[in-house]
C-alpha cells in the first residue's frame, strides 16, 4: 500500500499545488491514499469547509491539523460534520472533532489516520504519550495500516513519540516546523519515521509567509501582518510504502515536487 | 574554498567519528577548513579542554558551541585561553570568551567564523539580529569568507536570521535541534543556508542519548539520567564551496558519513 | 513628594474607577503625581488616544504600558505624538515611542518615569538589566525622583531588577500579573519596591475578564472570547512618599479602593 | 477548624523558622492543623527524609511539594514510604508518591489535603482542571474540610483553578512564586483563596537565595551558584478558619511572622 503524506498546506498557493500535483502523483507513484495537513490551508492560518473541500477534490483522503486548527471560526462546525478532517486527538474531552479516522477506498485495505500534538513549547494539551497507544490498539482491530501525524515543535519529543509507537503503527510523520528534515528512516520495529514533512506552498518565504515582515518582527518585536508568500511553490511530504498484511513500512522517501515559480497574487 | 561544517558532536562516539573521518574527508573532499559545533562533546553536555583538543587534533579548525557551553566547569577558562573555541556572540558584555574568530591556513584565504544563538524557546541572550550584522561588517574587512553557526530552536528564527545575512556572509548553518534538515539552498544574495546540520554521534538514539530514559521522561515527567547512546554512529554536517574572491557560496550539500555500527561502551 | 501608582487599568470599568477615584485621592492623600499602567485600558487589550485621554483627564500624569501596548492599531501613532504615554524602554532601536519621560507640575519637583519589560516567559526584548541603569543616570541629571514600572511575569526577575536599581531610583513597582503582592518594602538603598501593583477594574473576574470563558479555556484549550468583567470594581496600586532632596523613598503602602459593586454592561 | 498553611520552606533558615514558630503559633492561634510546602526545604532545592522529619517534629501535619520535588535523589523513596509528604497529584500514572492524603488529629474532624501543579510556564503534567475535581469528590466522602496547595506560576491559571473548585473545597492556596499576594478572599461558594502564600525563609534575598548571584545571572545569562540567603528570616503563609460542618471557609488572613534578623551561616 502506498501512502503520500503532504506537509502543512499553506494558503492558496499550497492548495493550488495540491490540486495540480496530487492527481498526477496519484498515478505516477501508484498512490493508494493521500493524507495532508491542512492547518494553514485558509490564508495561512486555519482551515475552512471551502479549503477542506478543495483538498478533498484534489484527491486527499484525510486532512490532519494542529495548533492552528481553531484560527478560522467555522472550524468547530467543520470538525463536527466532516469525519475526514481531524484535530489533534489529545484535546480534552468535550472538544469538537475527532483525532482519528478510518478510510477505505474500494478494493484497497483500509487506512487509519491519527493526529496528535506535542506539548514542548506548545499548549498544554492532554498527554499524547498516554492517549495515543490505546487509540492505536483500538484501530488495529480494524486495520494494521496506521499513519500518525504528530504535530510538534521539539525534535526530542517527536523522535521519542516515534520510538514509542515503533512496531505499532506504519508511520509517524512530524509536522508544524514547516522545514523538511532529512532523517527519514524505518525504525527497528517497522515504523517509518520522519521528524518533519516540511510545508506545501511558497518556499521563497519564512515558513510560507513573506520574508520582510517576519524579519521586521525579529528586528522590532512589534506585530506585523504576515501575508502568504508567492514564489517557488512546492509540494513537500513523504511517500511511505506499507506491507498490507503486517502494517510494517517497507520504505519511506521524501517528496519535494515543484509546482510554480511564481503564483498569482 | 571548501568548508566542512560538522553538526553538534555528541560525547565520545561523536569525537571518535570526527577523529576517524575528518582526516579522510579532508583529502577526499579537498577541504580547506573544518568547523565543528562542540557544545555536546564532553559526555553529551558541554566542552572541556580535553574534548576540544581531540577535535583540533582531528583537523577541526574552529569549534562553535551553544546553550550547553557552560555545562562543564572549565568552559570559562577554555574560552578565555583558546580563541578558536567560540561561544555565542550575543552573550552580554563581560562574559568570558568570544563569538567570532579568524583563522588562516598557510596558502589559503582566511576564514571568519561567527557563532550566535537564537532566543525563541531559549534563554534571553542579547539580540542576534542587531549584534551580528556589525560583526559581519567588521570581519569583512579581513575576509569575504564568513561562516555563521546559528544555534537556535525555532525554524522561523533560523530562516529569518539566514535571510537577514543573505549577501553578507558565505553560509548560515543552523545547529541545536540535532536533526538534519533537507532545506539546503543558496539564497538569492549568495549565502548558503541550512536550517540544521544535525548531530555527529550515535543516531540510534534521541538526539544522541539512549532512547529508553528519554521515553521515560516523556511518560513520567520525572528526571532521568540520559546516557550517551552507542549505535549507528555518524558524522552529519554540510559541505559548502565558496568563491574566494567574492565570498559567495557556489554550492552546499549535506554530509552524512557512517562511522561505526556500534561504539564501545 | 507623594506618588500614586495605579496598576493595569482594565477596560471601561477600570477607566471609570480612575475617573471617579483619582480626583478624590489626589486631595485626600495629598498626591503630587499619579502614574497609571494603561496597557489594558481599551476593552481590556491595548490603549487608544481616547482611553489615554480619559486617564489624563482624570488626573493621571503619565501612562505606562507593557506587552499589550500594540493591541490597538492606533497605538504607534499615540506613542509618537504623546510623550506622556510610554512603552517599555527595552524595545529595539527604531520602534515608535519612548520608554521614559519627565513631567513637572508647577511648584513641584519634577518626576521621571521609566517603563521597562521583563523577558522571562515574555517576548525577547532587549536586556532591561543593561539598558535601564544608563537611562537612570541620564534622568538623574534632571531629578532624583524616579519611578520605574517594571512590567514582568517572573517574581525572580522582578525582585532582581528592583535590587539592581536599589539606591538609584525612588521606586520600582511591578505590573503585568494583575494580582497585588504583599511584599511592599523599602530596600536598604532607599528604593521602594512592590512586585506587583495588581490591576484596576472588576475584581470578580480572572485578571479583569469574565470567569467562565477563562475556565473554559483551561478546560478545553480552545480559544474563547474574554469579555471584560463587571463586578467588584476597585482601584489597586501603591502610594509612595519620596524625599524630594534625595529621591529616597520614605514609605510605601498598597492602595485598594473600591469603586462599584457592579458596573454598567 | 483552624488551618495554618505555610509557604515554601527554603533551606535551613526556613526549617528553623518553622521549628521555632509553629509550636508557638499552634497555641497562640489555636491551630488544629498545619500544612507546609516543603519543596525547597533541603538546601533550597528538594526535600529529604531529614528535612521532612524536622518539619513534622515542629508540628507540621502534611507536607506538600511542587516542581522541585525530585531535586534530591531520595525523594522517590520518601514519597513512597511517608503518606504525609505529597507530590503534585497530576503526575502521570506510575510515578512514585501520592497527590492527596487524609489526616486526623484525635478529637478533631479529619483534614484532606490535595497538592496539584499548574502547567502554564511549567512542565507538561497531566491536566489538573480535569484530575482534581474527581479527587475532591472522593475525599468529600471522608471529610468536608479540604485544603488544596496549587503550585503554579501564572496568576490566570491559579485564579481559574481556585474558581473551578469554589464551593467544593475549603481553601485553595497557591505556592511557587515565593512572593505573597494580597488577594486573600473567600469566593462566593465558600472557598478561601490566596494566589500565593509566599515563602518561609530569608526574605533579604531573591526568593530565598543570595541576591548577588541571581543578579549576575540576569546580567550575564551564565550559570551561577545560588546559595540560600540568611537575613530577615520570616514564616509566611495563611490562616484559614473552616466551618467543620460544611467545610466552608469562614475567614482567611495572611501570616507573616518574623523569626530572625540573621540566621547562622
Ligand atoms: Fe502548527
Ligand atoms: Fe503549520
Ligand atoms: Fe544546543
Ligand atoms: Fe547540541
Ligand atoms: Fe501585561
Ligand atoms: Fe496588564
Ligand atoms: Fe516551585
Ligand atoms: Fe518553591
Over the stretch C97-109, which tens digit does the pLDDT of each residue have? 999 999 999 999 9
pLDDT band at A263 (very low <50, low <70, confident <90, very high): confident
Q: Which of D122, D66, D56, D128 is nearest to D92 (CA)?
A: D128
Grid cell, residue C162, equals 528592583
CB contact under 8 A, B155 and A179: yes
pLDDT band at C263 (very low <50, low <70, confident <90, very high): confident
pLDDT of residue B265 exceeding 90: no
Whether chain D has a CB inside 8 Å of the CB on C130: the answer is yes
pLDDT band at A261 (very low <50, low <70, confident <90, very high): confident
Which of B92, B119, B120 shows the shortest C-beta gap to C130? B92
Q: What is the 3-state secondary structure (H, E, C) of D83-115?
A: CCECCCCCCCCCCCCCCEEEECCCCCCCEEEEE
Nearest CA in chain B to C94: B130
Judging by DSSP bridges, how do beta strands C201-202 and C192-194 pair with one another? unpaired
Whether chain C has a CB inside 8 Å of the CB on A91: the answer is yes
Tell me, rounded to whole angstroms, the distance of Cα A208 from its chain centroid: 15
pLDDT value for D262: 83
Q: What is the mean pLDDT of residues C190-204?
A: 98
Query: Which ligand minimizes its atom distance to the CA of B152?
Result: 3
CB contact under 8 A, A220 and C123: no
CB contact under 8 A, C181 and D178: no
Whether chain D has a CB inside 8 Å of the CB on A92: the answer is yes
Whether chain A has a CB inside 8 Å of the CB on B121: the answer is yes
Place of cell 491559579: D158
CB contact under 8 A, A127 and D92: yes
Query: What Cα–Cα distance (Å) separates residue C202 from each residue in B228, B237, C57, C205, C230?
Result: 54, 57, 21, 6, 5
Taking only the tens place, the pLDDT of each residue in A219-245 is 999 999 999 999 999 999 999 999 999
pLDDT value for C75: 97
Q: What is the mean pLDDT of residues B32-61?
A: 98
pLDDT value for C246: 98
From first to last of its 265 residues, chain D has per-residue pLDDT tens of 999 999 999 999 999 999 999 999 999 999 999 999 999 999 999 999 999 999 999 999 999 999 999 999 999 999 999 999 999 999 999 999 999 999 999 999 999 999 999 999 999 999 999 999 999 999 999 999 999 999 999 999 999 999 999 999 999 999 999 999 999 999 999 999 999 999 999 999 999 999 999 999 999 999 999 999 999 999 999 999 999 999 999 999 999 999 988 887 7
Tell me the average pLDDT of chain A.
Answer: 97
Q: What is the mean pLDDT of residues B193-215?
A: 98
pLDDT of residue C261 exceeding 90: no
Buried b (16+ CB within 10 A) or exposed e, B190-211: bbbbbbbbbbbbbbbbbbbbbb
Query: Which ipTM value was assigned to this complex?
Result: 0.97
A68 an active-site residue? yes
Measured CA to CA, the distance from residue B199 to residue A139 in angstroms comes to: 35
pLDDT value for C260: 85
Which of B125, B221, B222 shows the shortest C-beta gap to D221? B125
Q: What is the mean pLDDT of residues A153-167?
A: 98
Query: What Cα–Cα distance (Å) separates residue D85 from each residue in B203, D89, D119, D136, D238?
Result: 41, 12, 21, 18, 19
Give the number of beta-carbon pairs within 8 Å between C and D. 90
Taking only the tens place, the pLDDT of each residue in B89-132 is 999 999 999 999 999 999 999 999 999 999 999 999 999 999 99
pLDDT value for D17: 98
pLDDT band at B263 (very low <50, low <70, confident <90, very high): confident
Mutate to test the interface with B, among C94, C116, C124, C126 (most CBs of B within 10 A): C124
Measured CA to CA, the distance from residue C123 to residue C34 in angstroms comes to: 28
Question: How buried is A198 (Cβ within 10 angstroms: 0-12 exposed, 13-18 middle, 19+ buried)?
Answer: buried
Mutate to test the interface with D, among B218, B222, B223 (most CBs of D within 10 A): B222
CB contact under 8 A, B215 and A179: no
pLDDT of residue C264 exceeding 80: no
CA distance A1 to chain B (A): 26
Measured CA to CA, the distance from residue D132 to residue D149 in angstroms comes to: 11
Measured CA to CA, the distance from residue C243 to residue C251 in angstroms comes to: 10
Nearest CA in chain B to C123: B120
pLDDT value for C15: 98
Phi and psi at residue A196, to the nearest 5°: -150, 140
Which of D92, D93, D119 shows the shortest C-beta gap to A124? D119
Grid cell, residue D67, equals 516542581
CB contact under 8 A, A220 and C94: yes
Contacts with D126 from chain A: Cβ below 8 Å: 126-127
CB contact under 8 A, C126 and B124: no
Measured CA to CA, the distance from residue D11 to residue D46 in angstroms comes to: 9
Which of D76, D124, D221 shows the shortest C-beta gap to B123? D221
Measured CA to CA, the distance from residue C209 to residue C68 in angstroms comes to: 15
Q: What is the 3-state secondary structure (H, E, C) of chain B?
A: CEEEEECCECHHHHHHHHHHHHHHHHHHHCCCEEEEECCCCCCCCCCCHHHHHHHHHCCCCEEECCCCCCCCCCHHHHHHHCCCECCCCCCCCCCCCCCEEEECCCCCCCEEEEEEECCCCCCCCCCHHHHHHHHHHHHHCCCCCEEEEEECCCHHHHHHHHHHHECCECEEEEECCCCEECCCEECCCCCEEECCECCEEECCCECCECHHHHHHHHHHCCCCCCCECCEEEEEEEEEEEECCCCCCEEEEEEEEEEEEEECCC
Catalytic residue positions of C?
Answer: 68
Q: Pick the catalytic residue from A68, A151, A176, A178.
A: A68
Taking only the tens place, the pLDDT of each residue in A51-102 is 999 999 999 999 999 999 999 999 999 999 999 999 999 999 999 999 999 9
Neighbors of chain B with 3 or more C-beta pairs under 8 Å = A, C, D
Amino acid at each position: 500500500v502506498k501512502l503520500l503524506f503532504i506537509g502543512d498546506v499553506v494558503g492558496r498557493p499550497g492548495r493550488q499545488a495540491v490540486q495540480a500535483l496530487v492527481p498526477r502523483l496519484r498515478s505516477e507513484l501508484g498512490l493508494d491514499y493521500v493524507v495532508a495537513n491542512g492547518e494553514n490551508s485558509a490564508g495561512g492560518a486555519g482551515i475552512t469547509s471551502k479549503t477542506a473541500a478543495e483538498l478533498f477534490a484534489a484527491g486527499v483522503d484525510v486532512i490532519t491539523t494542529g495548533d492552528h486548527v481553531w484560527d478560522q471560526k467555522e472550524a468547530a462546525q467543520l470538525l463536527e460534520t466532516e469525519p475526514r478532517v481531524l484535530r489533534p486527538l489529545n484535546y480534552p474531552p468535550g472538544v469538537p472533532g475527532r483525532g482519528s479516522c478510518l478510510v477505505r477506498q474500494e478494493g484497497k485495505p483500509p487506512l487509519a489516520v491519527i493526529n496528535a500534538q506535542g506539548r514542548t513549547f506548545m499548549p498544554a494539551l492532554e498527554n499524547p504519550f498516554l492517549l495515543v497507544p490505546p487509540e492505536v490498539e483500538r484501530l488495529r482491530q480494524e486495520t494494521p495500516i496506521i499513519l500518525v501525524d504528530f504535530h510538534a515543535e521539539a525534535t526530542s519529543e517527536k523522535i521519542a513519540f516515534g520510538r514509542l509507537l515503533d512496531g505499532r503503527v506504519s508511520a509517524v510523520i512530524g509536522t508544524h516546523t514547516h522545514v523538511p528534515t532529512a532523517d527519514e528512516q524505518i525504525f527497528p520495529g517497522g515504523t517509518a519515521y520522519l521528524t518533519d514533512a516540511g510545508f506545501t506552498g511558497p518556499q521563497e518565504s519564512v515558513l510560507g509567509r513573506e520574508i520582510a515582515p517576519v524579519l521586521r518582527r525579529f528586528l522590532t518585536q512589534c506585530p506585523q501582518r504576515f501575508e502568504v508568500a508567492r514564489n517557488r511553490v512546492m509540494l513537500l511530504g513523504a511517500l511511505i510504502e506499507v506491507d498490507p498484511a503486517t502494517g510494517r513500512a517497507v520504505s519511506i522517501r521524501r517528496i519535494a515536487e515543484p509546482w510554480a515559480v511564481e503564483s498569482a497574487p
